[in-house]
């Protein structure tokens, strides 16, 4: 009832009708954010609560339900591309065997009081959760495209290697609001670990390409 | 019961060994495994326990829960779960089955909220009264259609809040609910994912909880299910009965409305 009165007052007195019309949507977002934020225990360590903070990309992707208009899309992709950092030695391709292990690891990073990961639990790329990769692994997900024969189809030129590294480091540099995490930006994987996954994808000897 | 459990375990081993098989036959094995599970659901034991708890005089006020109003009037449980969450004038809040149940345990039976919610989910060797009671209340809506139109302004507001949270991305993996549950016909590893933004997808999900989870050996309530989703998103856990979990349920139940309840469910 109160909201209705306020809305009525806004419509009556607002100098710009369009402004009054845009009010309810913004209102819900602010209320929802407040409700969401106050749904957590006060004794959560602050570094846990930091995980709820949104950067500009997260905020825009949420606002547009992961389908931003072209102008916003370009803005996000440009900003994310600028975030990519490379290994000190400049080598973007590592050991595919290490990459294969990382692709299968889905543990790590769980927090909370009910079922957190033990300290020091290995964090992987968990690539198989969403992608088909080596032929021998049949337990793969389909949220992302199949990456079987990734290198066989694309080759292993310097350009392809750099693209692969950049994509894993920051997926949003190429596709704003993609489902894929920004593994490098969040330090989920180190630059060195990313080079191993690059090798798993492009090395001709890797089971992704050989089988 | 024991023979059935052994069969289940054997099938589990078969499913695990299934990685050696081709993709299609692995999926076939999982379908067979699910069928076998549906044959006898241990959740029925929780349902019976919940019924006894509902009817027994307990707590400082030595009262049963039989006068508890789950939205259709005191003691009227048939179809109540399928119409929750809803706005309750007496508390002036939108409540889900669990927050309403706890409200009744506090107001009718005289329990302290912190005491009744301490064991809101079971752990090995520690059963949860709430799980049993919710299984019982849920089963009283079996065969009925989910009906949460969210017409009351507070319900409509909570549906919008739930939708906002569903698409809200954050955390070290950039997750939101929508990442896994916003598209049709996707899998994570071999696990099928429902598109919870459609009536069909939300319907499958919402009509089958509470559900017995074989991998956990326990019945999971919708609060437990959603709080665990957030854990998997690598976020902190929301508080039990918090408004964001209730808001998500309003959004999902509204989307699922019209789907026939098949509860208690049974899942991997």
Summarised one tens digit per residue, pLDDT across range B107-130 is 999 999 999 999 999 988 899 999
- A57 within a domain of the structure (yes/no): yes
- A19 within a domain of the structure (yes/no): yes
Summarised one tens digit per residue, pLDDT across range A173-184 is 999 999 999 999
The total domain count for chain B is: 2
B159 and B104 in one domain? Answer: yes
| 3-class DSSP state of A12 | helix
- A87 within a domain of the structure (yes/no): no
**Could you list the residue range(s) of the whole structural domain that residue A127 is in?**
96-113+121-210
Query: Does this complex have an ipTM over 0.85?
Result: yes
Distance between CA atoms of residues B268 and B251, nearest Å: 25
CB B73 within 8 A of CB B130: no
Confidence of residue A25 (pLDDT cuts 50, 70, 90): low
Summarised one tens digit per residue, pLDDT across range A74-114 is 999 999 999 999 999 999 999 999 999 999 999 999 999 99
- CB within 8 Å: B234 and A143: no
Q: What local confidence, expressed as pLDDT, does residue B215 receive?
A: 83
Q: What local confidence, expressed as pLDDT, does residue B26 receive?
A: 61
B189 and B105 in one domain? Answer: yes
A181 and A106 in one domain? Answer: yes
Q: What local confidence, expressed as pLDDT, does residue A23 receive?
A: 45
**Could you list the residue range(s) of the whole structural domain that residue B210 is in?**
43-267
Q: Would you say how long chain B is, in residues?
A: 268
Q: Which residue of B has its CA nearest to A178?
A: B179
- CB within 8 Å: B231 and A35: no
The total domain count for chain A is: 2
Q: What local confidence, expressed as pLDDT, does residue B37 receive?
A: 64
Q: What local confidence, expressed as pLDDT, does residue B159 receive?
A: 98
Question: 3-state SS of chain B?
Answer: CHHHHHHHHHHHHHHHHHHHCCHHHHHHHHHHHHHHHHHCCCHHHHHHHHHHHHHCCECCCCECCCCCECCCCECCCCCCHHHCCEEECCCCEEECHHHHHHHHHHHCCCCCHHHHHCCCCCECCECCHHHHHHHHHHHCCCCCECCCCCCCHHHHHHHHHHHHHHCCCECCCCECHHHHHCCCCEEECCEEECCCCCHHHHHHHHHCCCEEECCCCEEECHHHHHHHHHHHCCCCCECCCCHHHHHHHHHHHHHHCCCECCCCEEEC
- Give the gap in angstroms from C-alpha B159 to the nearest C-alpha of chain A: 10
What CATH number is attached to the domain comprising A152?
Answer: 1.10.760.10
A125 and A55 in one domain? Answer: no
- A22 within a domain of the structure (yes/no): yes
B96 and B35 in one domain? Answer: no
- A90 within a domain of the structure (yes/no): no
Q: Which residue has the higher pLDDT, A131 or A23?
A: A131
Assess whether pLDDT exceeds 90 at residue A134: yes
- CB within 8 Å: A181 and B22: no
> Which residues of chain B fall below pLDDT 50?
1-22
- A52 within a domain of the structure (yes/no): yes
- As a whole number, the mean pLDDT across chain A is 90
Q: Touching check for A34 and chain B: CB below 8 Å?
A: no
B150 and B24 in one domain? Answer: no
A105 and A58 in one domain? Answer: no
Q: Which residue has the higher pLDDT, B264 or A69?
A: A69
User: Average pLDDT, stretch A24-39?
Assistant: 88
A104 and A206 in one domain? Answer: yes
A164 and A190 in one domain? Answer: yes
Q: What local confidence, expressed as pLDDT, does residue B13 receive?
A: 44
Q: Touching check for A175 and chain B: CB below 8 Å?
A: no
| 3-class DSSP state of A19 | helix
B176 and B66 in one domain? Answer: yes
What residues contact residue A47 under an 8 Å CB cut-off, 6+ apart?
A: none
B113 and B30 in one domain? Answer: no
- As a whole number, the mean pLDDT across chain B is 89
A57 and A105 in one domain? Answer: no
Q: What local confidence, expressed as pLDDT, does residue A143 receive?
A: 98
Confidence of residue A120 (pLDDT cuts 50, 70, 90): confident
B261 and B215 in one domain? Answer: yes
- CB within 8 Å: A139 and B174: no
Confidence of residue A202 (pLDDT cuts 50, 70, 90): very high
B25 and B115 in one domain? Answer: no
What CATH number is attached to the domain comprising B211?
Answer: 1.10.760.10
A14 and A108 in one domain? Answer: no
Q: And the tokens for B66? A: 């039989």
- A86 within a domain of the structure (yes/no): no
B187 and B110 in one domain? Answer: yes
Residue among B266, B265, B254, B267 at smallest CA distance from B82: B254
Distance between CA atoms of residues B246 and A25, nearest Å: 20
- A44 within a domain of the structure (yes/no): yes
Q: Which percentage of chain A shows pLDDT scores above 70? A: 88
What residues contact residue B114 under an 8 Å CB cut-off, 6+ apart?
A: none
Q: What local confidence, expressed as pLDDT, does residue B41 receive?
A: 83
Residues of B annotated as catalytic (active site), given as ranges: 229
Q: Which residue of A has its CA nearest to B15?
A: A139
B227 and B116 in one domain? Answer: yes
A71 and A10 in one domain? Answer: yes
B168 and B145 in one domain? Answer: yes
B83 and B10 in one domain? Answer: no
């Amino acid at each position: 009832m109160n909201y209705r009165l306020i809305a009525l007052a806004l419509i009556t007195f607002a100098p710009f009708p369009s402004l009054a019309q845009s009010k309810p949507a913004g209102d819900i977002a602010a209320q929802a954010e407040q409700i969401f934020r106050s749904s957590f225990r006060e004794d959560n360590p602050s570094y846990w609560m930091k995980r709820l903070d949104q950067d500009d990309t997260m905020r825009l992707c949420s606002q547009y339900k992961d389908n931003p208009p072209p102008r916003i899309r370009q803005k996000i992709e440009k900003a994310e591309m600028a975030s990519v950092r490379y290994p000190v030695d400049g080598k973007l391709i590592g050991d595919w065997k290490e990459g294969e292990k990382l692709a299968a690891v889905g543990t790590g990073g769980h927090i909370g009081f009910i079922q957190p990961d033990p300290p020091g639990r290995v964090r992987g790329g968990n690539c198989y959760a969403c992608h088909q990769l080596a032929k021998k692994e049949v337990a793969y997900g389909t949220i992302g495209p199949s990456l079987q024969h990734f290198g066989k189809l694309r080759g292993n030129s310097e350009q392809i290697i750099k693209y692969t590294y950049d994509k894993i480091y920051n997926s949003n540099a190429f596709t704003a609001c993609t489902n894929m995490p920004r593994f490098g930006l969040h330090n989920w994987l180190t630059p060195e670990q990313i080079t191993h996954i690059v090798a798993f994808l492009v090395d001709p000897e890797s089971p992704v390409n050989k089988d | 019961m024991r023979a059935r459990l052994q069969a289940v375990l054997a099938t589990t081993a078969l499913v695990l060994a299934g990685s050696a098989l081709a993709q299609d036959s692995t999926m076939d094995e999982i379908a067979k495994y699910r069928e076998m599970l549906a044959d006898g659901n241990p959740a029925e034991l929780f349902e019976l326990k919940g019924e006894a708890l509902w009817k027994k005089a307990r707590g400082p006020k030595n009262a049963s829960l039989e006068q508890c109003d789950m939205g259709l009037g005191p003691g009227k449980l048939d179809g109540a779960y399928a119409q929750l969450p809803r706005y309750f004038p007496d508390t002036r809040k939108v409540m889900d089955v669990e927050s309403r149940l706890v409200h009744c345990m506090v107001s009718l039976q005289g329990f302290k909220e912190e005491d009744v919610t301490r064991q809101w989910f079971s752990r090995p060797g520690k059963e949860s009264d709430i799980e049993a009671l919710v299984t019982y209340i849920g089963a009283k809506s079996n065969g009925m259609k989910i009906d949460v139109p969210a017409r009351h302004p507070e319900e409509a507001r909570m549906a919008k809040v739930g939708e906002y949270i569903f698409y809200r991305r954050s955390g070290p993996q950039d997750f939101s609910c929508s990442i896994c549950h916003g598209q049709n016909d996707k899998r994570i590893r071999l696990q099928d994912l429902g598109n919870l933004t459609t009536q069909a997808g939300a319907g499958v999900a919402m009509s089958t909880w509470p559900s017995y989870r074989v991998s956990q050996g326990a019945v999971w309530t919708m609060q437990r299910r959603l709080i665990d989703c957030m854990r998997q998103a690598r976020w902190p856990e929301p508080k039990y009965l918090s408004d964001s979990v209730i808001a998500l349920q309003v959004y999902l139940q509204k989307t699922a409305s019209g789907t026939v309840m098949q509860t208690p469910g049974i899942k991997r």
